[in-house]
A and B are shown apart, each in its own frame.
Chain A
Amino acid sequence: MELKELVQRAKNYDLEALGQIYELFVDKIYKYIFFKIGDRTEAEDLTEQVFLKMLQAIRNFRPRKTPFSAWLFKIASNVVTDYYRTHSRYLKVPLEEATEAESESVEERVLRDFSSEKLYMAITKLTGEQQNVIILKFLMGLSNLEVAQILKKSEGAIKSLQHRALNSLAKILKGGSRGRKK
């Protein structure tokens, strides 16, 4: 069943459609929140909130105005913003979830061993837009079109935004590692 049809049925609280929508998006929403706030337990709580809020608001969703994924990510983004508003003093760094990937090369292993904390701290130093493009495109693997729909920008704007974001992140990572060695 296509997403469009699923959403239409979900608007009438069709459990099967809602279940499928949940399966389609839960990993992505969790990943987005996890890389935004860097804490697994809190990311789980917030993911739960996103889906409950979706349920409350789905009747008002207008497919012609916004694609469903963009609408859902907007809810996630609002939930994260609210979280930051109340938790700014207790932000944590991500847990090292070292899951050994199958057939991992030496180069990949070196990259994986790069401190997640360092990467997370570097991402938080980017502008909001740059953070979003890094998380949505590179950490979640969404296409330029999907990122453009979520961020309400053109694909061309996403291409230059990803350039600026990678550039800034590379500079921060380079500068950050020097700073720590002192």
Chain B
Amino acid sequence: MANTTKTRSRSMHAKVTNGITYVVLILMSIIWLFPFVGLVFQSFRSYATEYGGMVSYIIPKEFSWDNYTYLFSEECSFVKWYLNTLTIAFFVAVLNTFMILCVAYSLSRSRFKGRNFLMQLWLILGMFPGFLTMICLYFLLKQIGLTQAGAIPGLILVTVASAGMQYYVSKGYLDTVPKALDESARIDGASNARIALTIILPLAKPIIIYTALTAFMAPWCDYVFASYVAFGYSDSYNVAVALQRWVWTNDYQGFFTRFCAGGVLVAIPVTILFMCLQKYYVEGVTGGAVKG
């Protein structure tokens, strides 16, 4: 008798706490989604028929494609900026991954003289803020003609050149691949290069996807260096630099809603890609935390 009341009260208790949890989660979901819903709605507000600046309501009185047609019209280089960003993101994703894997594999598999020195040096270098060296990098790029009109390859070069320093997560992952695999292959007479390519590389697929994904997503937000290297040459802007101007200029007549439309077009493909590869992202994030 007493037992049943106890279980009943416990199940009541569980129901109440679950109810509270649901309320919290629903509230959070609203807060998390609200800005994005707003972004999408405002991108459909027309400058011609309504107003393109700031208003105090979310749902436009009349839906229109005005902002989107503007983005693809002659007077706006949005397509150019978009392709710029896509180019950077693609090359950075491929080349960064290559560089990071090279470093991660060497540091995980080889014990050589200077290994600890290298790791400590890079750790220390990583403590300097990236923007510190901006003017020097700009000058170096200028010497080889990779600023302004050549800003796109310039940005790729700078990003990829120092990518090796971000090896931590990948190395942590490769450390968990048993060394016995290497040993047995070595006994069979395989060279180190062969072991890396045929045995370790296929096993590293999740971390390769994680590295490429994060590398692909970063250039979409790169504002600081991208704007500095382009130096006012608008054909070399990426979306972040270009759209930023629309929000910050004092005269945003019409440009706020155009920013929303541009933002939607940027967010959709990146978000879809992320959601598809989310599994690998989670694996990388958790692995990174556990291994530091």
- Please indicate whether A and B come from the same complex rather than being unrelated chains: no
